[in-house]
């Protein structure tokens, strides 16, 4: 079992001489524990290396305040640095949806929680911001996925584009745009198809849709329990389609959410939402403080 990082560090510092400032040796010793904690939280190795190096430089020579132990001091420095790396600019939950109808493209691997997250965000916009929202599934190969969005739409009280067989994703996207304009919708979500692994054909399909509708936001949905894979997925989707924000799902699970740090550090993309369960209300705005605490265990 993972012990609390502060406790681990107190143990380490008990063996060190108490000085007025953190020496390079003190910090190095403490950061060995931090490194293990980050790796256990599934942060990718290159990100751990860079993070530890940055903290080393910041912490060395810092005066230890009387009220805290050197261990607590290092934990605070590490925590603050984590929050700094994790946080994006502005309000994570504020989507760019002025100038209606605003298209939002949802992308990600199959099983990441894309369809569920689409419905969750649509519900949030409807209930909290009073927006009129339309959702459309572009998954022409999986009728079950289209039906799933329809069922979720009924559940959350958000309209879905009627299903028409035999259309291409671009045709569906255009129909959604027309319906959104004519129906006075503020926002329309396009839930693209995904496969279990990165698939160039589907990525191209989403890129074609992007070119036609010019989405105001392209949200990548990633399973927060997949550490290194999450980073690869984010890099690939951002490279080929261009991503404006990330929704991390399954943050209700046992994982410690290291994927959040890896993705943010590698792609620079802001994390906007966190999925915390299967239910349609289980969505939170991303909170860097909370994730930092969780990563540190």
Annotated binding-site residue numbers for GTP: 108-115, 191-195, 249-252
Question: CB of 257 within 8 A of CB of 251?
Answer: yes
Q: Does residue 192 interact with ligand GDP by CB under 6 A?
A: no
Q: Rounded to an integer, what distance in angstroms lies between the CA atom of residue 200 and that of residue 197? A: 10
Binding residues: 108-115, 191-195, 249-252
Of 62-70, 108-116, 198-206, 254-262, the window that binds ligand GDP (rule: CB under 6 A) is 108-116
Min. distance of Cβ 277 from ligand GDP in angstroms? 5
- Residue window 255-294: x/- pattern of binding to ligand GDP, with contact defined by CB under 6 A: --------------------xxxx---x------------
Min. distance of Cβ 250 from ligand GDP in angstroms? 4
Which CB, 36 or 282, lies closer to ligand GDP? 282
H or E element at residue 143? helix 143-156
Q: Rounded to an integer, what distance in angstroms lies between the CA atom of residue 174 and that of residue 200? A: 22
Indicate the DSSP class of residue 110. Answer: T
Return the SS3 of 20: coil
Q: Does residue 123 interact with ligand GDP by CB under 6 A?
A: no
- Residue window 42-81: x/- pattern of binding to ligand GDP, with contact defined by CB under 6 A: ----------------------------------------
Dihedral of the CA atoms 175, 177, 180, 184 (nearest 10)?
-130
Min. distance of Cβ 276 from ligand GDP in angstroms? 6
Helix (H), strand (E), coil (C) string for 213-253: HCCCEEEEEEECCCHHHHHHHHHHHHHHCCCCEEEEECCCC
Of 127-135, 166-174, 203-211, 247-255, the window that binds ligand GDP (rule: CB under 6 A) is 247-255
Min. distance of Cβ 12 from ligand GDP in angstroms? 35
Residue carrying structure tokens 């259309």: 167
DSSP 27-95: HHHHHHHHHHHHHHTT--HHHHHHHHHHHHHHHTTPBPPTTS-HHHHHHHHHHHHHHHHH--SS-TT--
- Residue window 140-179: x/- pattern of binding to ligand GDP, with contact defined by CB under 6 A: ----------------------------------------
Our measurement of the distance from residue 159's CA atom to the centroid of its chain's CA atoms, rounded to an integer in Å, reads 25
Question: CB of 257 within 8 A of CB of 291?
Answer: yes
Contact pick of 40, 167, 252, 284 for ligand GDP (by CB under 6 A): 252
Contact pick of 111, 143, 183, 268 for ligand GDP (by CB under 6 A): 111
Catalog residues that contact ligand GDP under the rule CB under 6 A: 108, 110-116, 194, 249-250, 252, 275-278, 282
């Amino acid at each position: 079992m993972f012990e609390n990082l502060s406790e681990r560090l107190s143990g380490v510092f008990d063996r060190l001489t108490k000085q007025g400032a953190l020496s390079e040796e003190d910090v190095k010793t403490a950061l060995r524990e931090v490194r293990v904690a980050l790796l256990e939280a599934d942060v990718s190795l290159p990100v751990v290396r860079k993070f530890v190096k940055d903290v080393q430089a910041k912490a060395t020579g810092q005066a230890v305040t009387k009220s805290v132990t050197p261990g607590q001091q290092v934990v605070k420095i590490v925590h603050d640095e984590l929050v700094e790396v994790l946080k994006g600019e502005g309000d994570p939950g504020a989507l760019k949806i002025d100038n209606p109808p605003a298209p939002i493209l949802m992308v990600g691997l199959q099983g990441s929680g894309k369809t569920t997250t689409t419905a969750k965000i649509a519900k949030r916009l409807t209930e909290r911001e009073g927006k009129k929202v339309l959702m459309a599934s572009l998954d022409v190969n999986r009728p079950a996925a289209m039906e799933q969005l329809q069922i979720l739409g009924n559940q959350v009280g958000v309209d879905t584009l009627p299903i028409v067989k035999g259309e291409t994703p671009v045709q569906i996207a255009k129909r959604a745009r027309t319906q959104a304009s004519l129906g006075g919708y503020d926002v329309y979500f396009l839930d693209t198809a995904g496969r279990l692994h990165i698939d160039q054909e589907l990525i191209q399909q989403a890129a074609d849709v992007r070119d036609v509708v010019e989405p105001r936001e392209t949200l990548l949905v990633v399973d927060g329990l997949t550490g290194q894979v999450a980073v690869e997925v984010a890099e690939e989707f951002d490279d080929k389609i261009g991503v404006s924000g990330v929704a991390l799902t399954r943050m209700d699970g046992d994982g410690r959410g290291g994927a959040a740090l890896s993705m943010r550090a590698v792609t620079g993309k802001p994390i906007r939402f966190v999925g915390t369960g299967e239910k349609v209300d289980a969505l939170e705005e991303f909170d860097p403080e909370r994730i930092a605490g969780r990563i540190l265990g």
